[in-house]
Amino acid sequence: MKLVGIAIGLCLMLQQAVATNLVPNNSFETNSAIPTGYGQWYDCTTWNDVNNHPLFAWPYASPDYMHTSATSLSGVHLPSTTFGTINAHTGNAVMGLAMWLASTANFREYIAIQLSAPMTIGTAYEISFYISNGTNNYNGSSCDHIGVDLSTAPLTQVDHEPINITPECDYVNQLWSTGWTQVSFQYTPSSAFQYITIGHFKDDANTAHTYHGPGADGAYYFIDDVVVQPLTTLPVELISFNGMNVPEGNLLEWQTASEFNTDHFVVERSDDGTVFAAIGEVSAAGFSASSSSYSFVDEWPFPAAGYYRLRIVDRDGTEEYSHVILVSGPVSAATVQVMVIPEAHEIRFYCYSPENTELEFLVFNSQGILQEEKRNQPFNGSITFNVNTMSLSPGMYVARIQFARKIFTQKFMVY
């Protein structure tokens, strides 16, 4: 099976509120002291940096604990830190860590914690965390292979070297996001793991990175809301939930793999990601052993951005919620947005133009050989092109899209 590598869409899983998170202090709120400078991971209760060096001292790897109560001159005051501008995903604190640096060979920082209880062998778990580069990122680069290692004993790092293990959960694509993105995995342990470690476990020779600017050349990330919790068997198996702004409003699309006793979906919206209100309903298939697709258009979206979630209502009245997605505001100029649909082995290119125009859509492989083409496609408003990744050989590809006197390019990997 081929996997599409592009850092914009992640596997979505449902959870019930009663699920128990095994990560203590998972949003870094509890502390022994407010940080006063860089590398003070030790101020955050129960978390550690695996090499256990007690104080910040270069070149020892020392993750950064950041808090809204830190002084503005400390460099770790949220939201305006030395490493970038970011609000905590929840609460008042985040952790920050360097996962690759051009200036220092094989420099890695990790954060680790002991779970509140060992994982149960044979039980499926959701393992997730929120990650961001923030804006004005000091190091300015992205890297691939950000992962989570599970272990029965703490990992150790002597200095700042990569820990030479293969993590159980590995997000293989490069990840760059100025807002918060949830990285989520599903894993069934074969051992009673009791420790998790988050970071980048590849050496420099096996690391892909891209410079985005405007800072130095290195990959620095903010982390918040770490979760390790058992997956609950639900009557709806939701395999995707995506949103995109279109001329008609904000288009929400979701797909289920199967359904049992489902009555309807309630679409809920929020301007802050905390307080939600229902804006519409969509009838469900009810009973289905095959895939079902749904869509809903929010015709009057918030001007800048809106948060959305689905409330799934069964025929017996029980309810579950999807994860939350963020959809940017209305499009006012020619633009292209990209959505990965892994279950369909597709990449969808949504093209928008406020004027009459003709479009040229080309896909090249890494040798510059044309793989797909559509030319002289007239449109006004929106048009969509789907690339079936099953028809492509593994490797790097570039989509080149030209319309409305603009040229858009998008790289993607097929594995």
What is the chain's pLDDT, residue by residue, as a tens digit (415 residues)? Answer: 333 333 333 333 333 334 589 999 999 999 999 999 999 999 999 999 998 676 777 788 999 999 999 999 999 999 999 999 999 998 999 999 999 999 999 999 999 999 999 999 988 888 989 999 999 888 899 999 999 999 999 999 999 999 999 999 998 889 888 888 888 887 889 999 999 999 999 999 999 999 988 778 899 999 999 999 887 655 677 888 888 888 788 899 998 887 877 889 999 988 777 778 889 999 998 877 778 889 999 988 876 678 899 989 888 777 788 888 888 776 567 778 777 666 677 888 878 787 888 999 999 998 889 999 999 888 877 788 889 888 899 888 899 999 988 888 888 888 7
CA–CA gap between residue 8 and residue 5 (Å, rounded): 9
Of 83, 187, 76, which is closest to residue 126 (Cα–Cα)? 187
CATH code reported for the domain at 236-328: 2.60.40.10
Residue with tokens 């133009």: 353
Asked whether the domain spanning 335-414 has the same topology as the one spanning 19-230, the reply is: no
Instruction: With H, G, I as helix, E, B as strand and everything else as coil, classify residue 389.
Output: helix
Q: How many CA atoms lie within 13 A of 128 on its CB side?
A: 22
Contact 207, 143 (CB under 8 A): yes
Q: State which fold the 335-414 domain adopts.
A: Immunoglobulin-like (2.60.40)
- Predicted TM-score of the model (pTM): 0.57
Q: What fold characterizes domain 19-230?
A: Jelly Rolls (2.60.120)
Bin 285: left if φ > 0, else alpha if -120 < ψ < 50, else beta: alpha
CA 12 from chain centre, in angstroms, equals 10
Q: How far is CA 191 from CA 21, 152, 153, 259, in A?
A: 18, 8, 11, 31
Per-domain boundaries in the chain: 19-230, 236-328, 335-414
- Residues 346-375 as b/e (b if ≥16 CB within 10 A, e otherwise) read ebbbbbbbeeebebebbbbeeeeeeeeeee
